[in-house]
Amino acid sequence: MKKIISYIATIFLVIGITTSCSRVEENLFEESAAIRLNKSISDITDLLRSAENGWIMEYFPNGESAGVVFLVNFISSKEAKMASDNQYLKNTYTEANGYWRVISDMGPVLTFDTYNDIFHLFSDPVDPSSGSSDGVGLGGDYEFLIVAISQDLITLKGKKNGTTTLLRRFDNGKDWKTYFTELRSMNIALFGTNMVPLRLTVNGNDTLTLKNGGSHIFTTIPKVGTEIDDADELPFIVTDYGIRFVYPFSVNNVSIQDFKLSEDGNELICIDKDANAMIQAVLPNEVFHEMLNKKKYLNMTSSPEMMSASIMEAYQLINSAVVAATRKLDYIGFVNNKDLGFTLAIMSSKGTSKVEGNIGYDLIKKENTVQLVRNGKNDNDNGKNYIKNFAANTLLNTLEGEYILSVSGIKLTSTTIRFENKNDKNKWFVLSMK
């Protein structure tokens, strides 16, 4: 019995020693971890403050909203100055100050823990676009896990939504307001004012049509799908180099996220590793039809740079007849009239009196061309008057034919289209959106 008790006691002694040693090791480890974490917080705080002119903050409030650019300067150990220029600030450059800290929360966390008017509106329970107090608003993050750091780039992950926010060191001496003016110019370079559809190519193959780029949330339509049944939404942020999508996404087994604007401004080129992808303008035929579908006027201009000699001669016959009637020729162009369909529109005026005539055409779409065919059916009364009394017939007959289309200017945003007759290269004209 004594041997048994002695054996049991020995076991408990061993357990006690083991437990005691374990406790000592845990305490030492926790202390070491705490020291390391405190040093990490100190180092990150110093790094954030080391950027003399601040950081570019590429921020997505959540996974469904467009990205927003801020400039932020950590001007003291507690205070940060921020600036932005976005739709919720009425596209006006605005600055605000607030407080910040790097805290410990299962690792270093950057928190902007006092309200400022330009940043916290994304986490405010009031929706900044509608003003409704729905208790959620945009649901944006204001606390960020620090995922990776280098001297010039810090990667953050929103604690609530998990979206990635980047801090890029801003160039010393560069003016903040000028930077946002340049961002606005980049937005115009990418999307203009007309929001022409774009297309995503991967390994040289068309994969998606991208629409509504001006909203910074693309409507994506698969090549084999339709906008009604298969469209999706993909938020992105306009940067000083191009665009970055809210998440990496896969198309034909290729992961893509970041795109840089080419030097000629004609395309966005994916800069992600092993990704042969580009965002380009849709084909000229599609640009033309898109403008017509939006009921936009595509007008002709009578000059040697904008039309061939034969078409300019026919155009000038109308102009001379209009002037002879003491009127002014305002424009001649094509439009998809809501009542008459595809027509050639002629507008002339005298004082406040304006008269538009519409003359019907059939528009035959082919793979790489369009054919203009005078149909004589969809003319309104004013159109018939321009034919009868203002010498319009010569131009109508001259314009008939099959045309190869090309885009003039920067392809990503251009709505200026050159029509060259497929069978007669000496017959051509240019249409520009009114």
Q: Dihedral of CA 277/283/289/295: which sign? A: positive
Share of the chain above pLDDT 90, in %: 78
- Which among 146, 164, 144, 150 is positioned nearest to 245, based on CA atoms? 164
Tell me the per-residue pLDDT of 268-314, one tens digit each, with 9 for 90 and over. Answer: 999 999 999 999 999 999 999 988 988 899 999 999 999 999 999 99
Question: Per-residue pLDDT averaged across 239-260, rounded?
Answer: 96
**Token code pair at residue 130:** 């509608």
What letters, b where the CB count within 10 A reaches 16 and e where it falls short, cover 185-220?
ebeeebbbeeebbbbbbbeeeebbbbbebeebbbbb
Rounded to 5 degrees, what are φ and ψ at 356? -110, 130
Q: Residue 378: CA atoms inside 13 Å, Cβ hemisphere, count?
A: 20
Q: What's the confidence (pLDDT) of residue 35? A: 80
Round the average pLDDT of the chain to a whole number and report it: 90
Distance between CA atoms of residues 238 and 255, nearest Å: 19
Question: Per-residue pLDDT averaged across 359-374, rounded?
Answer: 93
Using alpha carbons, list the distances in angstroms from residue 299 to 307, 344, 366, 431.
12, 9, 22, 5
Residue recorded with tokens 């002037």: 323
pLDDT above 70: residue 158? yes
Question: Per-residue pLDDT averaged across 52-63, rounded?
Answer: 96
Question: Per-residue pLDDT averaged across 105-116, rounded?
Answer: 92
Distance between CA atoms of residues 171 and 296, nearest Å: 42
Share of the chain above pLDDT 70, in %: 91
Tell me the per-residue pLDDT of 381-408, one tens digit each, with 9 for 90 and over. Answer: 999 999 999 999 999 999 999 999 999 8
**Residue 358, helix vs strand vs coil:** strand
pLDDT above 70: residue 14? no
Q: Residue 133 carries which DSSP code? A: B
pLDDT above 80: residue 2? no
- Which among 426, 375, 363, 369 is positioned nearest to 402, based on CA atoms? 369
